[in-house]
Each structure stands twice: as C-alpha cells, then as structure tokens.
Structure 1
C-alpha cells in the first residue's frame, strides 16, 4: 500500500516546506487544465491533492502518522508471528521421534504444559484484542472531536479570507483579491464558490484590459496583463501579443523580445512573432545581424511549409494568391536588410520571391532595380524601375529619368 508520503515522493520526516514543494511540483504536472481529456491525470491529481490536504495539516498528519505506524506494526508483527509458528512447526515435524513403548512422566508433563501455555496465550490474545478495541473506540472519539475542531478552525479561516477578498475587490485591488482566492482554493480545492469568484475577478480584469488597450493606456494595460498572466492557466496567445505591444510602447524592448520568444517556443511556426522580433532589432537597436537571424529562421519555416504542401518542386507550384501576406513581408524585409548590408545578390533573390508572391507591389520592383544598379546591371535596373513606375512608384520615376531616359 502506498502511503501519502510515497505518493508525494517524500520522507516521513519531511518538513512542511518540503511537503508543499513536492505537492506544487506534482500538482502542476497533473493539473486537469494542463492535461485536458486525460482521466488518468485527473485521478492522479485528486490522489495527490488528498495526500497534501492531510500532510499539510498538523492535526490530520499526526492522526495519519499514528494510523500508519499501527498499520506498519501490525504488518510486521503478523509476519513475525507467522514466521515463528511456521519454523516451530517444521522443527517439530522433522525432529526424530523415539518410540520407547511406554509413556514417561516427562512426556505427560510436556502435554499438560503445552495446554497451559495455549490457555495463557489465548488469554493474552483476548486481552490484547480487547485493549485494541478500546483504543480504537477512544481514538475514534478523539479523532471525531479533533476533526470537528479543525473544521471550525478551517471555516473561521475561510470566512476571514473571504472577507479580505471582498474588501480588496471593492477597492479594485484585483491582484490582492486573487491572492486571497487562491489561498481559499488551497484550503479547499472543491470550493466552487471561491473558483467562481476568481473567474469573475479575472473577467473584470480582462474587460478593463481591453478598455485600457483601446485607449492606448499601455501602463495600465500592462498591469492588468501581468495579473492575467499570473493567475490564469494556459494563457491564450493573443494576450502574449498584447503584452509584447505594451512593452514596446513603453520602450521595454528586451521584455517584448522575451514574450515573443515564449510564443515561438510554444509554436515554432508562428511567423508573426519572428517578424515582430526582427522589427524590434531593426527599428530600436539597428542590429541587422540579429534581425536577419530571425528572418532566416522565418524563411526556413516558410520553405518547409511549401515543401510539405507542394513537394520539392514548390517554386513552380506555389499559388501566390493563396499565401498569407506575412510571407511577402518576410522576403521583402530580408531583401531590404541585405541591401543595407551590401549583400546585393541575396537581396535580389529575396526581391524576386517577394515579386512572385505579390506582383502588384511597386516598392519591390524599385528595390530590385536599386540592387541591379549597385551590381552595374543598368539595363535590368531600368526595366525594374519602369515596372515600379507603372505601379505608381514616385521614387522609381525619379531614378528612371536620372539614369534611363537618355
């Protein structure tokens, strides 16, 4: 039989801090919110929670330790008595017997002595059982009294926590409110009232977040986002993006990059997060190398997607109109960075992909024409500038008349 200590993976002399630490680790691992549609994980979570509720309470722990000690003692005693009896029986069975043909006084005495010993043993067993019954009855009464007192204390603590939570809620101190409600749920995980109250507070915080975000009050929005992040399991991706925007608007660019990296770790195919990180490096740090690293990874994701859909001949089979606009943005941004770092051949390749994906974008033809100009391909540059002019590019018109009109 696994004891509560075995379930939590701790020693019987573990401190309350060790008990709490072991519970938190297992609760996070098997929590139903992290294991949806997994009945086994849900059952394990209930067992783990039950073990913690007993061991974290000094009264219940003392009672449990007493029962555990008695169970261990009974198991070992029963085994020892059975083992001794079996050994004695085997010895008597295998001992050589002497048949003298007549009974002796010693044999007669031995038989009477055995009968007397059996009566004494029966007496002590009966006495022991009577004492144990008495102990169990007394223990039951004591245990019932302790449980009643403990329940009163728990109810008192619960009402105090509810009082604090309501006071904080009325004062719109939502983080403090949620802290108190989490304490209530820890006291009694099946407390539906506390859980519903928590959901209502989180809903209030989310509503206020949307108002602050709409009004561009990013400092207030950030505060509410951090509350949601701390108190809600499996935070939806849209909140991470809002968190990133708040950090960027408050010039906290490293924090924004960290949030976007969390999105990528959760979903490596999220191109928007990679693009936003690249833009932060470009616009705020002028770190083109770091930006290109993230754009290169984004390009690899796009090419892998094309290959999985169209095979190795993807370049001839991709339908530009069916591709999302971010594919174009990634290739065009890569081309701009390559141009800025004087890698004109690479810039032309990405421009060609961008032209293929969105042939109506004048700015891409203009950039490709500039790349060709730097590579002294003046005739080809003029053709791209002319295409850009046809699509409405004023900078291309200036370039064309300066270099191609003669």
Structure 2
C-alpha cells in the first residue's frame, strides 16, 4: 500500500497546512514542464497529486488513515511472527561448566534472594507492559470516540467526527463502536451505503455485545434496502432479531419487507404472528397479518382477526378498508364492500378512496 505521508515527506500527524506546503514544494520540483527530459517526473507528479487530493479532503483522509493503520498493523504482526520464528531456529548455546566448588550456605541464601527478586521484577515488568499494551490504547481510543460523538451528535460536524474516529482507530484498530459511528456517518450524511455496509461488517466482527450487534445488523439491513438488495436486507434483519428476539419493531420491519418488497406472504405472516405474540394490543401486526392472509386468499382465517381488531380500544380504519376487500373478493358482495370502504373514508383512511371511486360511485 502506498504511503502518501512518506511520499510527501510528512509524518502521520501532519496538519492541513503542512500537507499543502509539501505538495506545492514537490509539485514544483516534479512538474513535467520543468523536467521535459525526465520521463519519470510525470509519473512522480501524478503520485504526488494523488496523495494531495486524498490527504487534503478530510473525509477521504479519514478513510485512507484507517486503511493505512490496518496495513501497518498487519505488517507489524507479520514482522513479529518472522522474528519469533527466526529466534526459534537459533541453536541454543551450551551452558558453561559450573564451578565444582560448593558455595557456602550464606552465598546460597543470597543466590535464592537474588533469584526471587529477579522473578518478582520480571513479573512486575511483564504486568506493567501488559497493562500499558491493553488498557492505555483502549482508554485513548474511547476518549477519541467520545470526542467523535460530540462532534457528530452535538455539533453536527461529520468531518471533525471522522478525524476523531481516525485517531480512535490509531490507538485501537478493533474498536467496534468507532467502526459503527463511521458507518453511520457514511450512511446518514454522505448516503454512501456500500462503504457503510463495509464498516458495519467490521463493527459486527469486532463486537461481542449481543444488543450492539443487533443494532449493527439493523443498520446494515437498512443500507441494503436503500440499494434495493431486499434479500440481503431480510437476512440482516433476521440476524438482528436473533440478537434481540423481543424487539417488536424489528419483527414488524422484517414482516413488512417480506410483504411489500419480496412478496413472500407466508414469511410475512410468520413474523407478524411473532409480533402479535409480544404486543397483543398493537394494531400494526394485526393489520399486517390481515393483509398477508388477504394476499394468500386465506379468507376464512381473516374472520377471527376482524373480531380481534374490533375489540381494540381505539377504532382502526384499516380494518374497514380490508373488510371491504374481504366482501368484494370473497363474498362477491359489492354493496357490503362499499359500505366498509365508505366507513374507512369517513375515518380519514386515504387508501380507501381509490376502490370506493372505482367501484362504488355508480351505486350511489
């Protein structure tokens, strides 16, 4: 992976002014007009311009920084493995012959103390190193993530938020919450659903919290819906439900997706029934199941639902709308159908206007 910072002669923490100054200096040196006899100058100039275009755009710089950090971490891991294998391959040195003369009891006592202190010192250094390696980066990463949330949620400044997220990933690469926030910015602010999906995937892989994973799957499903990849969306909503099985909103969203976009009415009915079992007084899953039964022409199964919806404390105009279709399609009773469509219209249900106008106006 090409290191744009090294290409411009900068360090990773270079600010916008330093990046611009480095670009101007190198662009003058490698401009093709100044190097007509140097065929490599044009190629170098293009690389310098590419580096500047990336690092001068805060959003593109944030994405590039994350990719560069991941690349560097991978190189470090490979180098550490190589060093370990090289060390293992070295032949062990022979121990030197010990002095045959026996040590005195006092000397042996001091030797034991020295060994104990050495062991304790080793344990202390190891423990301190472990603490610094595991907790300090996590603390620094969470601190930067808190700043990123402040800039995005409080100040509505996605560019500053992206900078903080980039810093958070510098300290801790596998920060699921940072990946999630970056994906959310891509989704909500830039409408970049494909890259948002990639970062939601990273967040899911790095998260061990079931409730968090449910949210990540839900947001990734939303991105798939925006891309009109409804099958993938349904799969992700299903995973979200597995991590949060009692969330009625998720059950309804997946049921609506099967009903309205995928036209898989039996699956829609299944998820509406699961929602009904968890929210019996909620009219939304009852109406949804009613529609799925109507689409499958399971008219007899609609009757108990009519009675159940009528018992709800608040009158539901959609009930009369679908009752109209029940009588129109199943009973062939157009007068009764018009009666219910007229009632739905009176209650302000706009969808009833169309069947009433096309079927019932001539009957008045």
Match of 1:385 in 2: 341
Q: 1:239-269: CA deviations, max 9, x gaps?
A: 4432221233234445433433344334432
Does 1:217 pair with 2:192? yes
CA 1:146–1:381 in structure 2 vs 1: closer, same or farther (change >3 Å)? closer
CA 1:330–1:192 in structure 2 vs 1: closer, same or farther (change >3 Å)? same
Match of 1:272 in 2: 249
Match of 1:259 in 2: 236
Superposed, 1:121-132 pairs within 5 Å as: none
- Contact 1:335–1:348, Cα closer than 8 Å, also in 2: no
Deviation at 1:387, TM superposition (A): 0.9
CA–CA distance in structure 2, aligned partners of residues 145 and 275 of structure 1: 60
- Contact 1:386–1:397, Cα closer than 8 Å, also in 2: no
- Contact 1:348–1:368, Cα closer than 8 Å, also in 2: no
Which is greater in Rg?
Answer: 1
- TM-score, normalisation: structure 1: 0.46
CA 1:257–1:131 in structure 2 vs 1: closer, same or farther (change >3 Å)? farther
Deviation at 1:343, TM superposition (A): 1.0
Match of 1:337 in 2: 292
CA 1:356–1:239 in structure 2 vs 1: closer, same or farther (change >3 Å)? farther
Deviation at 1:218, TM superposition (A): 1.4
**Alignment RMSD (CA, Å):** 3.7
CA–CA distance in structure 2, aligned partners of residues 145 and 352 of structure 1: 78
Deviation at 1:353, TM superposition (A): 4.0
Instruction: Tell me the SS of whatever aligns to 1:359.
Output: coil
- Contact 1:244–1:255, Cα closer than 8 Å, also in 2: yes
2:275 alignment partner, one of 275, 283, 298: 298
Instruction: Tell me the SS of whatever aligns to 1:188.
Output: helix
Q: 1:6-27: CA deviations, max 9, x gaps?
A: xxxxxxxxxxxxxxxxxxxxxx
CA–CA distance in structure 2, aligned partners of residues 383 and 292 of structure 1: 27
- Contact 1:240–1:263, Cα closer than 8 Å, also in 2: yes
Match of 1:193 in 2: 136
CA–CA distance in structure 2, aligned partners of residues 144 and 300 of structure 1: 61
CA 1:129–1:281 in structure 2 vs 1: closer, same or farther (change >3 Å)? farther
Match of 2:359 in 1: 399
Deviation at 1:371, TM superposition (A): 0.3
- TM-score, normalisation: structure 2: 0.50
1:244 alignment partner, one of 197, 210, 221: 221
CA–CA distance in structure 2, aligned partners of residues 332 and 189 of structure 1: 57
Name which structure has the greater RCO, CA cutoff 8 Å, separation 6+.
2
Deviation at 1:359, TM superposition (A): 2.5
Deviation at 1:132, TM superposition (A): 6.0
Q: Structure 1: where are the runs of 5+ without partners?
A: 1-57, 59-126, 156-186, 304-322
Q: Structure 2: where are the runs of 5+ without partners?
A: 1-83, 85-102, 149-164, 166-177
Match of 2:322 in 1: 367
How many residue pairs end up in the alignment? 223
